Amino acid sequence: MRIFYLLILLFFSKDIYGQNIIENLDMFLSHKYIGSVNDLYIYIEVFIWNRNEESIFILKNHEILDIIEEEDGIIFILSNWIDNLDFLKHTSAMYHNPSMIEFRNMQIVYLPLLLKIPDRNVNINQNKIIKEIRGLKYSLQQYITEDITWANNVDEFADGIREKVNELTFIFNKYNRKYGNQWFSPLSPPSWLLGTWIVDRFFNEERISPNDRILFETNNVIYFWNNLNELFFQYGFNKIEQNIIDNNYQITFLADDGGTFSVNFKLENEYLFTEQLTNNGLISYRLMKKNNCPNSRSKCNENLIRRFEA
């Protein structure tokens, strides 16, 4: 009887441990459809912040196995190396450790996926959100095929690999901060703010490079090399509020512990005045629209511009 209860305890402990691993992975998704002459592709960039003590290893080289389009969003089902284990059992490839991306403790990594849309799904509604991605496999071990001494046969070895590699499914969940910029953020800048603004001057000791800029997009703000939606997830804020009055636009981040972070934008003639209010005080800048930036001024970092305007 004691052995029975011990087995039950081990089963639930393993399930809770696996759930904690997922809960300590904060994820953020952006994507773009890319058309060619005859084919349709989707580029998905998954921002992952690993807050686990362990490193996480995610398998690379995915392909789209199926796409499920529902009323409230789209589900992508991906295949991977481990899905071909039954075939690989008869080849030497099964013993070659698959390509993986490492996410170390407290490390932020971007997982890029360029995937071809199957011909049967080329008419997919590109305006719908991606609400789930299935088939992104992760492992807590870097070399999942390194040791085979414990296996008595090929089938046992393949089954052991499956046990080492778990399925991590990225699911929409507004309470554990999975994803975000598609459905959660209320940010919708006014039309007079849209475009790219370059730092023209600063008004205090917090010096900002003249190459820094704010790129406004609908439902999104790229703010001095960071995405404000991503900052919301990284620092654990619980609520975003925005307020638009005439030529003023204010964004406020609120946390349960009372912490706040706010940015206020005010348009005066051709200049955009920015005030950044944190718990440490007020920081302010003046910006100029990219199209109005004088040629004598330092060159705009076109690489950053292309990244978000491509």
| 225 and 136 in a common domain | no
Q: Are residues 252 and 152 in the same domain?
A: no
Q: How many angstroms separate the CA atoms of 217 and 309, rounded?
A: 10
The 10 Å Cβ neighbour count of residue 38 is 7
Q: Do residue 130 and residue 235 come from a single domain?
A: no
In-domain check, residue 179: no
The answer on 164 and 200 residing in a single domain is no
Would residue 61 count as lying in a domain? yes
Whichever domain contains 285, its CATH number is 2.40.128
Q: Say if 230 falls within a structural domain.
A: yes
Are 166 and 208 found together in one domain?
A: no
Asked if residue 110 and residue 47 are part of one domain, the reply reads: yes
Does residue 228 form part of some domain?
yes
Say if residue 253 is in the same domain as residue 148. no
Q: For residue 275, is it within any domain?
A: yes
Residuewise pLDDT in 10s, the chain (310 residues): 444 333 333 333 444 445 677 777 777 777 889 988 889 999 988 878 788 888 989 888 899 999 999 988 888 999 988 888 888 888 888 888 888 889 888 888 888 889 999 999 999 999 887 878 888 888 888 888 888 788 888 898 998 888 888 777 766 554 444 543 333 456 778 888 888 888 777 665 555 565 666 777 665 677 766 667 667 766 667 778 889 998 999 988 887 777 788 889 999 988 999 888 766 677 788 888 877 555 433 344 433 333 333 3
Q: Are residues 163 and 206 in the same domain?
A: no
- 164 and 247 belong to one structural domain: no
Please give the tally of structural domains in the chain. Answer: 2
Residues 280 and 203 in one domain: yes
Q: Check: CB of residue 76 under 8 Å from CB of residue 130.
A: yes
User: Does some domain include residue 176?
Assistant: no
Range of the structural domain that residue 221 is part of:
191-309
Pairing of strands 73-79, 130-139: parallel
On whether both 157 and 258 belong to a single domain, the answer is no
Partner residues linked to 266 by β-bridges: 248, 273
Domain of 83, CATH number, reads: 2.60.40
Query: Based on the domain organization, do 196 and 167 belong to the same domain?
Result: no
CB distance 28 to 47 below 8 Å: yes
Contact between 299 and 209 (Cβ < 8 Å): no
Q: Does a structural domain hold residue 6?
A: no
Task: Name the pTM for this structure.
Answer: 0.59
